[in-house]
Amino acid sequence: MTVTENLYMGAFANRKNIQERIEKIFQIFPRLFERKDYLDINKSGVSILIVEQDVQMVLEMSQRAFVMEVGSITLSGKSSELINDPKIK
């Protein structure tokens, strides 16, 4: 998927004003706009930080994760291992 396709997937949960929100993201992150048509950004060696409360969803789409509670990292590791960790709700 391209960067733009990934942004649309992330916006899927809240479909209101998707195009407007994606344009705002590109304004905030101009380098992301430059790469909007890149395919499979993970293979290009670029890391992406996702801040999300839906831990299960993020673990299903990531390779590694850091879990934070009250501003401190409490767990980290391979997403495939963390997804079954009973400490993650």
Task: Give residue 81's pLDDT.
Answer: 93
Task: Give residue 13's pLDDT.
Answer: 65
What contacts 65, CB < 8 A, 6 or more positions away? 55, 58, 59, 75, 76, 77, 79, 82
User: How far, in Å, CA of 83 to CA of 69, rounded?
Assistant: 16
Task: Phi first, then psi: give them for residue 22, nearest 5 degrees.
Answer: -70, -40
7-63 residue pLDDT tens: 777 776 677 788 888 888 889 888 888 877 776 555 556 677 778 788 888 888 888
Task: Give residue 12's pLDDT.
Answer: 66
Task: Give residue 80's pLDDT.
Answer: 92
State the average pLDDT over residues 81-87. 90
Task: Give residue 77's pLDDT.
Answer: 92
Give the residue with greater pLDDT, 89 vs 42.
89
Task: Give residue 54's pLDDT.
Answer: 82
Please say whether the beta carbons of 32 and 3 come within 8 A.
Answer: yes
